[in-house]
Structure 1
Amino acid sequence: MDNQDTIDVLNTLIETCNDGERGFRNVAEHVHSADLKTLFATRASECHQACADLRAQVLQLGGDPETGGSASGALHRGWVSLLGTLSGYSDKSLLEACEKGEDSAMERYRDALDQALPDNVRMLIERQYEGVKRNHAQVRSLRDQARATAS
């Protein structure tokens, strides 16, 4: 894999992290639970840091780091906004939407790790992927709790 291919993989993950940061901030603004507000604000900050780490790697490779998010992320945030309007932004519906966003992030990280990457880049992506998996598991658990409470 040449530098440009590696930069492309990293830029895709930068878009993913930007999507995650925006999505978590959106959820933090609308959830009712103070604990969830804090949790999702923290997750947004973690995504911001992940972006910074990926951008630094792109710059080190001589590339131009992506600055925006993905079209699918923007579409998902629009869906979450519509859903929130219709459901009154219930914590359960926001957690369900958040889990879908985390599903997408996991898929993008798995796709990145299927590529032939330089060792230092692979280590960074693997470390971030572990965080994405932890986020997904936590969001799924919180979603399950919210579903049980809503029943």
Structure 2
Amino acid sequence: MKTTQSNQEVVSSLQDLLQKNYDAEAGYKQVMTKTDNEPLKNWLQQKALQRNTFATELDYQIRKHNAEPKASGTIKGDLHRGWINIKSTLSADTDEALMEECIRGEKASIKEYEDQLKNFNTDTEIQTIVQSQLTTVKSALNTVKRLEDIIG
């Protein structure tokens, strides 16, 4: 019984991270269409691809735990992307406003990863994957903050 509950908790945490990555990938793709700055656009595309890779890794782990991965992001992610549309329309400095939203999204991702990481203490493979993804997200946050300083 405990094994089943533990498996369910692991799968639930993986599903949450999977959805967060779907949201992040969609967010980066959306922001990418809102800028004319080619270096920024390329960086955003790289981040979208990275989040797609993260989702693939998490999807695989969910399937290894005999569960069906969720197929899309969250309603909260949809609402955030709607806010990005509004903000970019109203903002005089669209690139800076977009970077602010990327920062907000990355901070939310880091919090989600940190919250979920403790749920994988019995599975070192998943813990290693999630820790690696968290480190990469933290690096992306630092980069987007520097980009915002350069753009802003």
TM-score range, shorter chain: over 0.9
Q: Which runs of 5+ in 2 are unaligned?
A: none
Equivalent residue number for residue 136 of structure 1: 141
**Distance in 2 between residues matched to 1:140 and 1:64, nearest whole Å:** 36
> Does the 8 Å contact 2:9/2:119 carry over to 1?
no
Structure 2 match to 1:79: 83
The offset of 1:11, in angstroms, is 0.4
Once residues 116 and 19 of structure 1 are traced to their aligned partners in structure 2, the CA distance between those partners, rounded to angstroms, is 22
Give me the TM-score of the superposition, normalised by structure 1.
0.93
Equivalence map 1:20-39=2 (5 Å)? 20-39=24-43
Aligned-partner Cα distance in 1 for 2:93–2:8: 41
Q: Which runs of 5+ in 1 are unaligned?
A: none
Q: Equivalent of 2:125, from 99, 108, 120?
A: 120
**Aligned equivalents of 1:32 and 1:93: distance in 2?**
14
1:109 equivalenced with 2:127 (yes/no): no
The alpha carbon displacement at 1:114 in A equals 2.4
Following the alignment from structure 1 to structure 2, what is the Cα–Cα distance between the partners of residues 26 and 8?
27
Superposition pairs for residues 4-15 of structure 1, below 5 Å? Answer: 4-15=8-19
- Specify whether residues 88 and 69 from structure 1 end up closer, same or farther in structure 2 by C-alpha distance, changes over 3 A only: farther
Cα distance 1:120–1:28, how it changes in 2: closer, same or farther (>3 A)?
A: same
Q: What is the Cα deviation at residue 86 of structure 1?
A: 1.0
How far apart, in 1, do the equivalents of 2:14 and 2:127 lie? 10
TM-score normalised to structure 2 length: 0.92
**1:113–1:122 CA contact under 8 A, matched in 2:** yes
Aligned length: 147
Offset from partner CA, 1:44-96 (integer Å, 9 cap, x none): 01100110000000000101101111222111111101101112671100001
Are residues 88 and 76 of structure 1, via their aligned partners in 2, closer, same or farther at CA, if it must alter by over 3 Å? Answer: same
Q: Quick one: percent identity of the two aligned structures?
A: 27
Aligned position for 1:54: 58
Secondary structure, in 3 states, of the residue corresponding to 1:2? helix
Q: For the Cα contact (< 8 Å) 1:32–1:90, is it kept in 2?
A: no
Q: Is the 8 A contact 1:83 1:89 kept in 2?
A: no
Contact 1:28 1:37 in 2 (8 A): yes
Q: CA RMSD in A?
A: 1.3
Partner of 2:151: 146
